[in-house]
């Protein structure tokens, strides 16, 4: 690998960490640190002499009102979205029956009881799909001509390669919902299903019945992976919105308190009740604390938006973002 390729790979790795893999608390902390360095540099450079204290009042007042607005709006939106999970007993029972039916289909294909944890369940679905792909590849060797076998083998090889990659990511993941979900973000197998359907349509008359059935089983298993991914995404987004609301409350109240206290320091008749040499560092520190809720919001929304973008399309459709 050339140095340029290594540089691009390193940038891509750090980008993925910032967008998805990194702890949201750490990302929020880095964002706040960058903001502090920027504001402190501006302050210490002499570009902000702090001769007039009136702008400081405007900044602090804006931070207080802005934080109250951000926290209120975000929590309200989160509660609105989470309220969709509430329902009547009939609605909840219908939803539960749908999940149970899906789980039963997976267990019937596997021939054993599926785990209840997302990690173990998705590993079972991937294992079922790999077996279906290998079965289709084996049948096509003896039961079809060279042209059909070549097309089937290309489809099976692509599917197997992607399944191996997903399984490898799952093996390295912990049991958290996000790490299970992140292992399935790169593709939704729409192109593979479309390829298999084209093979069946193109060679339908010449394909043996059990080969057609093997193609249908593989398509069904690939669709089950996408169903699992979309279901785990809904669970993950609920968890993230609840956690975001909680963390905004944790940092919001101290942030507003610190900014309000900083504002009180400039209410003396002389303009400030602290030594003048402290002001160039005090103001950036208070501003940074006032921006911490926005940093937390930025870190969480960044990941939520990335996950949503990469899982926006469901089978039979796909998007370029889901095939990166």
Categorize the per-residue pLDDT at 270 as very low, low, confident or very high, splitting at 50, 70 and 90. low
Predicted confidence (pLDDT) per residue in 194-217, tens digit: 989 998 888 877 788 888 888 999
Residue in 194, 187, 196, 177 with CA at minimum distance from that of residue 122: 177
Average pLDDT, the chain: 84
Cα dihedral 109→110→115→118 (10° resolution): -60
> Which of 97-101, 146-150, 273-277, 320-324 is the most confident on average?
97-101
What does the block give as tokens for 209? 């019945």
Give the C-alpha separation, 155 to 160, whole Å.
Answer: 9
Q: What is the mean pLDDT of residues 171-183?
A: 77
Q: How many residues can be counted in the chain?
A: 324
What does the block give as tokens for 65? 């009102």
Categorize the per-residue pLDDT at 147 as very low, low, confident or very high, splitting at 50, 70 and 90. confident
| pLDDT for res 287 | 93
Residue in 165, 143, 164, 146 with CA at minimum distance from that of residue 154: 146
Q: What is the mean pLDDT of residues 266-276?
A: 68
Predicted confidence (pLDDT) per residue in 281-292, tens digit: 888 999 999 999
User: Contact at 8 Å (CB) between 314 and 222?
Assistant: no
What does the block give as tokens for 167? 């399984």
What 3-state class would DSSP assign to 186? coil
| pLDDT for res 260 | 92
Predicted confidence (pLDDT) per residue in 111-141, tens digit: 889 888 888 898 899 999 999 999 988 888 8
**Measuring CA to CA, how many Å separate 104 from each of 124, 126, 223, 277?**
13, 16, 15, 70
* pTM, full prediction: 0.84
What does the block give as tokens for 79? 């509660």
| pLDDT for res 258 | 93
Architecture of domain 106-238: Up-down Bundle (1.20)
Categorize the per-residue pLDDT at 296 as very low, low, confident or very high, splitting at 50, 70 and 90. very high
Report the Cα 115 to chain-centroid distance in Å. 23
Q: What is the mean pLDDT of residues 166-191?
A: 79
Which DSSP category does 113 fall into? Answer: P
Least confident of 19-23, 176-180, 317-321: 317-321
Residue spans per domain, the chain? 106-238
Predicted confidence (pLDDT) per residue in 19-73, tens digit: 888 899 999 999 999 999 999 998 888 777 777 778 888 888 999 999 889 888 8
Residues 6+ apart with CB under 8 A from 322: 185, 186, 187, 188, 310, 311, 312, 313
Give the C-alpha separation, 245 to 237, whole Å.
Answer: 12
Which DSSP category does 317 fall into? Answer: -
Predicted confidence (pLDDT) per residue in 212-269, tens digit: 888 999 999 999 888 888 888 888 888 888 888 889 989 999 999 999 998 888 776 6
| pLDDT for res 120 | 87
| pLDDT for res 94 | 83
């Amino acid at each position: 690998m050339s140095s340029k390729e290594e540089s691009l790979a390193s940038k891509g790795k750090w980008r993925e960490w910032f967008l998805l893999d990194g702890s949201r608390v750490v990302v929020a902390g880095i964002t706040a640190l960058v903001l502090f360095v920027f504001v402190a540099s501006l302050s210490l450079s002499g570009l902000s002499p702090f001769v007039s204290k009136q702008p400081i009042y405007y900044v602090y007042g804006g931070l207080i009102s802005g934080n109250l607005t951000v926290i209120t709006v975000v929590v309200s939106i989160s509660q609105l979205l989470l309220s969709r999970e509430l329902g009547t007993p009939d609605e909840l029972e219908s939803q539960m029956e749908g999940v149970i039916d899906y789980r039963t289909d997976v267990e019937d294909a596997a021939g054993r009881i599926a785990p209840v944890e997302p990690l173990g369940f998705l590993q079972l679905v991937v294992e079922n799909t790999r077996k279906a792909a290998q079965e289709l590849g084996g049948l096509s060797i003896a039961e079809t001509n060279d042209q059909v076998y070549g097309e089937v083998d290309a489809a099976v090889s692509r599917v197997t390669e992607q399944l191996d990659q997903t399984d490898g990511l799952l093996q390295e993941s912990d049991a958290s919902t996000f790490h299970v979900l992140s292992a399935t973000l790169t593709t939704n197998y729409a192109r593979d299903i479309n390829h298999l359907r084209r093979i069946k349509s193109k060679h339908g008359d010449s394909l043996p019945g059990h080969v057609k059935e093997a193609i249908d089983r593989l398509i069904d298993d690939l669709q089950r992976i996408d169903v699992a991914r979309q279901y785990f995404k809904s669970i993950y987004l609920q968890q993230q919105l609840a956690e975001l609301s909680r963390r905004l409350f944790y940092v919001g109240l101290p942030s507003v308190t610190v900014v309000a206290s900083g504002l009180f320091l400039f209410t003396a008749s002389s303009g400030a009740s602290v030594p003048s040499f402290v002001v160039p560092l005090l103001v950036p520190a208070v501003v940074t604390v006032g921006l911490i809720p926005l940093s937390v919001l930025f870190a969480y929304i960044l990941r939520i938006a990335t996950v949503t973008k990469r899982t926006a399309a469901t089978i039979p459709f796909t998007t370029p973002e889901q095939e990166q």
